[in-house]
Structure 1
Amino acid sequence: MGDQNPNAGKGPKAQQQQQQPPKIKFEIWVNGYKYVTVNNPNEPVDDIVKSLEKRAKKIRHIGEEDSIERLQFKSADDLEVSEMGLDLTAGDMKQLLENKKIVALISTPPPQPLPPPAPQPPPPPPSLGPTPPKMPCWDWCWK
């Protein structure tokens, strides 16, 4: 009968889908919130971080000025922590995961310094001595 391709006669898109490796699902914690991502095994971790950061800002789980600095693997008891390089791929990440959770570290820029206080008016010139309090003149009243 010969070799039969199940995608024979179908467009190139169907053939590409057949060749793609299965997607990998991750749970990544950002500022205490769980994000679920589904990625290709060849997708760089840097791209995953950028996508997470964009989603977290949109949902306001992190501030507009904040950024995801890096990802870490943490054991369930948080005693074991290891850094994840941004040059890894999602496939590498899956191999290193082994019963650990992935946590994103957030970088917040320092607050802007307060503007200098407004200049105060100059003090009044010093007088030669104490001036007596001004009393209203009632002379007009007695005339």
Structure 2
Amino acid sequence: MASMIKQFQVTFDCAEPERVARFWCEVLGYVVPPPPEGFATWDEFNRSLPPERQDAAFACVDPTGAGPRLYFQRVPEGKVVKNRVHLDVRAGTGLVGEERLAVLEAECARLVALGAVRVQLLRADGVNESCIVMQDIEGHEFCLD
């Protein structure tokens, strides 16, 4: 049987889709895709929607086309528990020891300046390399790996 590769996107439930999407654009180097045909801007498109759908969703994409689309949808409830799935932002790939920690700490400082929260440094344990657990601007957990 032939294997099928499928496209996928990662969806975030959040209170402010555009704000969270723009944060992740900065984190990952993603971009906001062009607005739908017939609209000069996303704001123009947003204003064309019924009031209950305005500001309800936003997306960002990898400009190279290699990474998945990220989709952010407004939900009425706030975040209550730890994510069951999270992103690992691969800032230290191939690095080990103090060199890895230095790269992770520098990226952590950049993301904190964008509004992220540092949660915990998990040091290398002989099986896994060091990583930093963080939260985005609405509390979604992710790791700098």
Point out the structure with max Rg over C-alpha: 1
Same fold (TM over 0.5): no
Q: TM-score, normalised by structure 1?
A: 0.22
* Structure-2-length-normalised TM-score: 0.22
